[in-house]
Structure 1
Amino acid sequence: MSKNIEKDKWEKNLEEVKMELNNCQKSLHNKLSCQPNGVYCESFFDCELRKKYVLAVYESMNKGSGGGFEF
Structure 2
Amino acid sequence: MAEVKDEFELALEVKKNELQACQNEKKIKSCLPCSMIFECSLRKEYIEAVYKSMSKGKEGGFDF
Deviation at 1:67? 3.0
Q: How does 1:48-67 map to 2 (within 5 A)?
A: 48-67=41-60
Q: Deviations over 1:8-33 (max 9, x none)?
A: 00000000000000000111x11011
CA distance in 2, matches of 1:53, 1:60: 10
Q: Deviations over 1:15-65 (max 9, x none)?
A: 0000000000111x1101102xxxx31000000000000000000000001
Which residue type is aligned with residue 53 of structure 1? Y
CA distance in 2, matches of 1:51, 1:67: 19
Unaligned runs of 5+ in 1: none
Equivalent in 22, 32, 42 of residue 24 of structure 1: 22
Query: Scaled by the length of structure 1, what TM-score is found?
Result: 0.79
Structure (1 or 2) with the larger CA radius of gyration: 1
Unaligned runs of 5+ in 2: none
Identity, in percent, stands at 46
CA distance in 2, matches of 1:58, 1:49: 14
Q: Any runs of at least 4 consecutive aligned residues in structure 1 with deviations exceeding 6 A, and if so which?
A: none
Query: Scaled by the length of structure 2, what TM-score is found?
Result: 0.87
Deviation at 1:4? 3.6
